[in-house]
Amino acid sequence: MGWLLDPFRDPIVQRAALEVVLLGVTGGLLGCWIVFYELAYGTESLAHALLPGLVAAALIGVPILIGGAAGLLVAALAVARAGRAPGIGRDNAVAVVVTTLLGAGVLLALSRATPPGLGELLFGDILGVSDGDLWLAAGLAVVVVVALRLGHGRLLAVGFDRSAARSLGAAPALVDAVLLVLVAAAILVAVQGLGNLLVVAVLVGPGATARLLARRMPAMMAVAVTVAVVGGLGGLLLSYHAGTAAGASIALVTVALWVAALTTRALGRQLPSGAS
Amino acid sequence: MSARAAGDAARGGEVLVGAHGLAGGYGGGGPLAIEGLDFELRGGTRVGLLGPNGGGKTTLFRALLGELPVVRGDLQVATRCAVVPQTERSRLDFPVSALDVALMGTLARLPWWRRPTRDDRRAAAGALERVGLGDEARRTFGELSGGQRQRVLIARALVQDAGLLLLDEPFTGLDEPSSRRLEALLADLAGDGRGLLISTHEVDQARAWDLVLCLNRRQVAFGAPDRVLTRPVLERTYGAHVVELPGGGRGVMPAHHHDHEHA
């Protein structure tokens, strides 16, 4: 059992573990709705496209959080505008915007004036989380839990049948807006620890895995949080023992859990009297 | 009391909806979506809503739900309206049970910070019993048959405590036994004193109901089926697509029967 527990005697790993658990709660719960509102691509796009904001913040010397928020706003506006451009299709427009912004961010980051640390912005520094990061992640987790609990019925009604939701007393535009704000806040907070490229793993991976395994939203959320936390802690262990980058290891374990769920389900379906 | 007798007894039921010279559109000075509507819907009646696709059936539902600006005339709605949409429009892969869907009917009357209480759950389970799906409450909505899904959505309208149900082509895609079962349920609900506005393409089916409203952008006719469902009225409703069916029935071939894109 030493291999399992020893790494967590290290205070640095303890802090990282707390951060991944907090982000896991947020990412697992939100991920279920991201999957069912088909926001996975949008989430990934926003997470990638806010890079110029992060780099600019590092250049000017303002907090990364503020830079990220500005980057997110620019990205959201650009995506919204490009989506309306005639003739190229929404997905293509979004892809162009995201690639442009990600490229611009990398260019900025490679300029001489930028303090070293592009890797940190892209892949995060989960082992270097500050007290502020931890408080932020904890605050976000509380907000997400409360908001999703209060909004559960309306999120369900709008996701189930958008056209009839209004007659049931749920305003689709408001529900969408609340969900998007939560997703944006989660990206912003998670990007500190997991980096611009890997944040998607914790926001989308667990929800996608849970969808394969659970048949009701509450069960799905429980599975997703478990997957996110196990993926996070497992990633830290892998990183500790194999000497791999922490953020990338977390993403790897999370995706491995998804593949395992996919395989399990495929095998379960092949059994003659599949217990369903 | 037979369904027919129930309908007759309630024909003098209270007025649920009164439309007088009603015209409505999506605003901005655009064209009117529907106009010239003059009708009254009473409790305890089943009213068939006939018209081509794009003829304003869904738009009329939206007007009754208060989602369509009234441009001219007057629309009085004296009861709670609930829409029973076509089930293909809902996400069939959504992780909800029949009970979860019925519970959505409590949203409007609960304050936004409150979750359904045990009484709400009991009411939802009771509504599923009422539509004959008490044993299916825990099943995933998407796994139910088309007829069962339609009845779950009716149960949701009952949980909403709706006095007027707006049913959007509820018989589309149902097999014969499911259709009969739904027909019986609708008669039963009319027996409660509820009003039912049922959009349909089946003219012969509408003959069995209490009233018919023919709509093609404007009101073509409104009244008892045997008076309204004549060839000239149907031709004005559907254009010239009325065909004679073998067996004396008068069928209608709408231009795009299987085209269900509504906004």
Half-sphere exposure of B183 (CA within 13 A, CB side): 17
The model carries a pTM of: 0.86
* Residues in B touching A219 (Cβ below 8 Å): 95
- Give the separation between CA A232 and CA B137, rounded to whole angstroms: 37
H helix or E strand, kind and range, residue A261: helix A246-270
- pLDDT-derived band of residue A59, with 50, 70 and 90 as boundaries? confident
The answer to whether the CB atoms of B91 and A216 lie below 8 A apart is no
Q: pLDDT for B68-95, tens place per residue?
A: 888 899 999 999 999 999 987 788 889 9
Q: B83 contacts in A (CB within 8 Å)?
A: 164, 167
The predicted model gives B165-177 an average pLDDT of 93
Instruction: For chain A, say whether B216 makes contact (Cβ under 8 Å).
Output: no
> Residue B249: pLDDT band by 50, 70, 90 thresholds?
low
pLDDT bucket at B224, cuts 50 / 70 / 90: very high
When pLDDT is averaged across residues B183-193 and rounded to a whole number, the result is: 95
Q: Do A167 and B100 touch (CB under 8 A)?
A: no
B interface mutation test: which of A161, A209, A213 has the most B CBs within 10 A? A161
Helix, strand, coil percentages, rounded to 5, for chain B: 35, 25, 35
Beta-carbon separation of A166 and B81 below 8 A: no
Query: Hey, are the CB atoms on A153 and B97 less than 8 Å from each other?
Result: no
ipTM of predicted complex: 0.85
Query: Is the Cβ pair B91, A160 closer than 8 Å?
Result: yes
* Chain A residues closer than 8 Å to B104 by CB: 153, 156-157, 160, 168
Does position B8 have pLDDT exceeding 50, yes or no?
Answer: no
pLDDT(B263) > 60: no
* Per-residue pLDDT band at B245 (split at 50, 70, 90): low
B96 CB neighbours in chain A (<8 A) are 156, 160, 216-217
Report residue B255's pLDDT band, with 50, 70 and 90 as the boundaries. very low
Q: What is the pLDDT confidence band of residue B222, given thresholds at 50, 70 and 90?
A: very high
Task: Determine the pLDDT at residue A58.
Answer: 85
Chain centre to alpha carbon of residue A90: 22
3-state DSSP of chain B = CCHHHHHHHCCCCCEEEEEEEEEEECCCCCCEEEEEEEEEEECCCEEEEECCCCCCHHHHHHHHCCCCCEEEEEEEECCCEEEECCHHHCCCCCCCEHHHHHHHHHHHHCCCCCCCCHHHHHHHHHHHHHCCCHHHCCCEHHHCCHHHHHHHHHHHHHHCCCCEEEEECCCCCCCHHHHHHHHHHHHHHHHCCCEEEEEECCHHHHCCCCEEEEEECEEEEEECHHHHCCHHHHHHHHCCCEEECCCCCEEECCCCCCCCCCC
> pLDDT tens digit string along A151-201?
999 999 999 998 899 999 999 999 999 999 999 999 999 988 888 888 889
